[in-house]
Amino acid sequence: MFVKDVMVQNQVGLHARPATFFIQKANEFKSSIWIEKEERRVNAKSLLGILSLGIVGGTSIRIIADGSDEQPAVDALVELVDSGFSGENR
């Protein structure tokens, strides 16, 4: 299991569009991946799960992965969050 905490930088947080980018990135990996906010944990490959957390800008989240590619999965998702979801422009 590999875990990292990251602060959501973009002002709007993980609303539908950035959450979709997050899920697309998470689905590139075989590992089981979760997002944790406070005491709630949801599947990082589930749009409804992510949206149910109500993550806004300035919120600290924990990204957790368990599987054969857990470390690269977490690192890639942390990088995406740190970039402010700059993938939106691609």
Pick the CATH number of 2-89 from 3.40.50.1970, 3.40.640.10, 3.50.50.60, 3.30.1340.10: 3.30.1340.10
Domain residue limits, the chain: 2-89
Q: Tell me: the pLDDT tens digits for 14-64? A: 999 999 999 999 999 999 999 999 999 999 999 999 999 999 999 999 999
Note every long-range contact of 77-81, with CB atoms under 8 Å and residues 24 or more positions apart, other chains counting: 77/22, 77/25, 77/26, 77/33, 77/44, 78/4, 78/6, 80/21, 80/22, 80/25, 81/6, 81/7, 81/8, 81/9, 81/22
Tell me which of 15, 20, 23, 69 is the catalytic residue: 15
Give catalytic status of residue 15 as yes or no.
yes
Q: What pLDDT sits at residue 85?
A: 84
The burial of 8, by beta-carbon neighbours within 10 Å (0-12 exposed, 13-18 middle, 19 or more buried), is given as buried
* pLDDT of 89 strictly over 50: no
Q: Tell me: the pLDDT tens digits for 59-82? A: 999 999 999 999 999 999 999 999
Q: Tell me: the pLDDT tens digits for 2-13? A: 999 999 988 889
Please indicate, yes or no, whether the overall pTM of this predicted structure exceeds 0.75. Answer: yes
